[in-house]
């Protein structure tokens, strides 16, 4: 699942697949971009070396973008991604996090440690998270509050 294609191409990706509930708008004649439906993606097993979900999974199951209403849509999407990743593959997941899980209407979810644990389960290893350009590792640091706007001395 890719929400941002250009950085992947500039990083050397030779082929990019987009997955969406809605018909994607892709430039015609761009041979290295392929579009698939969610239903097609759900049947794929062990295909991808890298999946990227940037600002996507937190909307799954809330119906805002044409997806069916499903309180566990995000967890089911994670299960689909796990199935689609090759045995030595990786998932880069960008989602909003906070101290407790929040469902903000049909707009999105904000993830606390409880829902993160449900989403990752035992299928994924939580390697770390990035905050303000720094990598923080493992579950022990997932709930750390980090100051986004740190003050610097003049």
Tens-binned pLDDT, residue by residue, of the chain (154 aa): 334 566 676 777 788 888 887 776 666 777 888 888 888 999 999 999 989 888 889 999 999 988 899 999 999 999 999 999 999 998 888 888 888 899 999 999 998 888 988 888 888 877 777 766 677 776 666 666 666 545 555 4
Tell me which residue of 115, 129, 128 sits closest to 77, measured CA to CA: 115
Do the beta carbons of residue 18 and residue 5 sit within 8 Å? yes
End-to-end distance of the chain based on CA atoms, in angstroms?
Answer: 43
Tell me which residue of 36, 114, 42 sits closest to 73, measured CA to CA: 42
Strands 102-104 and 108-110: antiparallel
For each of the domains in the chain, give its residue range(s) and CATH number, in order of start.
Answer: 6-141 (3.40.50.150)
Q: What's the whole-model pTM score?
A: 0.77
Res 137: pLDDT:
73
Burial per residue of 35-63, b for 16 or more beta-carbon CB atoms within 10 angstroms, e otherwise: ebebeebbebeeebeebbbeebbbbbbbe
Q: How many Å apart are CA 59 and CA 76, to the nearest integer?
A: 12
CA distances from 151 to 100, 131, 147 (A): 26, 15, 9
Q: How many Å apart are CA 81 and CA 66, to the nearest integer?
A: 19
């Amino acid at each position: 699942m890719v929400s941002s294609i250009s950085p992947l191409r500039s990083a050397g990706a030779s082929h990019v697949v987009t997955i969406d509930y809605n018909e994607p708008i892709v430039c015609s004649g761009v041979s290295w971009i392929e579009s698939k439906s969610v239903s097609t993606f759900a049947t794929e097993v062990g295909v991808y070396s890298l999946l990227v979900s940037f600002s996507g999974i937190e909307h799954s199951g809330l119906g805002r973008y044409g997806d069916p209403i499903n309180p566990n849509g995000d967890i089911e999407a994670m299960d689909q991604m796990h199935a689609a990743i090759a045995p030595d593959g990786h998932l880069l997941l960008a989602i909003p996090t906070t101290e407790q899980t929040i469902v903000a209407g049909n707009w999105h979810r904000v993830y606390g440690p409880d829902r993160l644990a449900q989403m990752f389960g035992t299928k994924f290893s939580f390697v770390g998270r990035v905050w303000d350009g720094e990598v923080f590792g493992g579950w022990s640091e997932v709930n750390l509050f980090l100051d986004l706007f740190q003050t610097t001395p003049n």
